[in-house]
């Protein structure tokens, strides 16, 4: 195939069809309502954590600044996929433009990579706070925390840029139906009408590296934290450390347990429904559960969230009284 033929084939596919969850119209409406509730609860839960971190001066520490950024990331993570999925539930065509598909692919994988970096940063923060408490204040200064946050965002958005560019340059000459509810690299590589070993290798290698290396880093950090916690003389100190680290570890296991099956396990592609289930779990369910895990196991966060709720109630009362005065 020469270059001109490849270019003409590349231009032949203007849009992709996201098949999503093939079922009757009634079930599609039910799924739309169910996913809408999950989406709204996710936005509210993570939004509440962001408000708590911003408004409560006691939470202006590296741990909670990282947590606030993590919650902000989760909001954009679900926004990269869920709104389009909800539209497709009610749409007849279920089409997404060529550019829109690759933008979704880039942001979806970039958010996932950024989440790996933030989970690693949070474990790094807990390691220094518990294993080196006397030096923590001098090591984890506000400036270093800010640099760590920026590094997580920048590295996350640069990590998967090359595979997305490589896949977008492949010739797509039909068919254009993707058996998924998001634009994923696997189905797109399958739809390419030319072999793409370099794109496949780059995509798989970078996905596996970020997942395995960050997971290994987190496991080592928490193993050292566990050893340090067991040496603490006070039972209350041990309980507080276990409570804080336990919530972080629960989030780590939820997220990495699903993405490892999806992106690292070589036999996962043999099951046609598995990619959808796994993607649904780590793209929608974990961002919903994470705020619950952090708020239920953290006393400081509970207090801050109560303050946020009180401020919200006061704002509603003020708004209601002003509206009544204006009507009167």
- pLDDT confidence of residue 297: 67
What is the per-residue pLDDT for 113?
Answer: 95
What b/e sequence results for 187-201 when a residue is b if at least 16 CB atoms lie within 10 Å of its CB, and e otherwise? bbbebbbeebeebbe
Q: How far apart are alpha carbons 192 and 190 in whole angstroms?
A: 6
For residue range 218-269, what is the model confidence (pLDDT) as tens digits? 999 988 888 887 777 776 666 766 666 777 777 888 888 888 877 665 555 4
In CATH, what number is assigned to the domain containing residue 105?
1.20.1070.10
| Within a domain: 165 | yes
What is 274-297 written as a DSSP string? HHHHHHHIIIIIHHHHHHHHHHHT
Element (H, E) at 242: helix 235-263
Write down the pLDDT at residue 74: 94
Give, as one character, the DSSP assignment of residue 132. S
Q: Which residues contact 66 (CB under 8 A, 6 or more apart)?
A: 118, 121, 122, 125, 145, 148, 149
Cα(84)–Cα(323) distance, integer angstroms: 35
CB within 8 Å of 115: residues ≥ 6 apart: 70, 73, 74, 77, 156, 255
- Total number of domains in the chain: 1
Strand duo 15-18 + 95-97: pairing: antiparallel
Whether residue 317 is contained in a domain is answered as no
Beta bridge partners of 74: none
Q: Could you give phi then psi for residue 177, rounded to 5 degrees? A: -90, 125
Q: What is the pLDDT of residue 223?
A: 87
Q: Is 9 a domain residue?
A: no
Phi/psi of residue 272, each to 5°? -65, -35
Chain mean pLDDT for the chain: 84
Is residue 6 in some structural domain?
Answer: no
User: Can you give the residue range of the structural domain that contains 36?
Assistant: 15-308
> How far apart, in whole angstroms, are the C-alpha atoms of residue 100 and residue 307?
40
Whether 70 shows a pLDDT value over 90: the answer reads yes
2 lies in some domain = no
């Amino acid at each position: 195939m020469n270059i001109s033929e490849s270019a003409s084939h590349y231009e032949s596919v203007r849009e992709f069809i996201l098949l999503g969850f093939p079922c009757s119209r009634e079930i599609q409406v039910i799924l739309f309502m169910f996913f809408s509730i999950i989406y709204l609860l996710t936005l509210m839960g993570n939004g509440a954590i962001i408000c708590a971190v911003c408004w409560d001066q006691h939470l202006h520490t590296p741990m909670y600044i990282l947590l606030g950024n993590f919650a902000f990331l989760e909001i954009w993570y679900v926004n990269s996929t869920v709104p389009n999925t909800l539209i497709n539930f009610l749409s007849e065509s279920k089409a997404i433009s060529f550019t829109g598909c690759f933008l979704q692919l880039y942001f979806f994988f970039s958010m996932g990579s950024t989440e790996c970096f933030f989970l690693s940063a949070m474990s790094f923060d807990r390691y220094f706070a518990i294993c080196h408490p006397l030096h923590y204040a001098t090591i984890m200064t506000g400036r270093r925390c800010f640099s760590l946050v920026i590094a997580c965002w920048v590295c996350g958005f640069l990590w998967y840029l090359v595979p997305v560019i490589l896949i977008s340059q492949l010739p797509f000459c039909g068919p254009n139906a993707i058996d998924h509810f998001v634009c994923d690299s696997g189905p797109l590589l399958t739809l390419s009408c030319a072999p793409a070993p370099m794109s496949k290798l780059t995509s798989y290698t970078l996905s596996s590296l970020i997942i395995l290396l960050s997971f290994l880093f987190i496991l080592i950090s928490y193993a050292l934290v566990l050893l340090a916690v067991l040496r603490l003389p006070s039972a209350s100190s041990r309980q507080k450390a276990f409570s804080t680290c336990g919530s972080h570890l629960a989030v780590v296991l939820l997220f990495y347990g699903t993405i490892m099956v999806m992106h690292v396990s070589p036999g996962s592609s043999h099951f046609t429904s598995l990619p959808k289930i796994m993607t649904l779990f780590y793209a929608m369910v974990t961002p919903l559960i994470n705020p619950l895990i952090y708020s239920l196991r953290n006393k400081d966060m509970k207090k801050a969230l109560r303050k946020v709720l009180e401020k919200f109630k006061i704002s509603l009362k003020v708004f209601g009284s002003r509206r009544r005065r204006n009507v009167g």
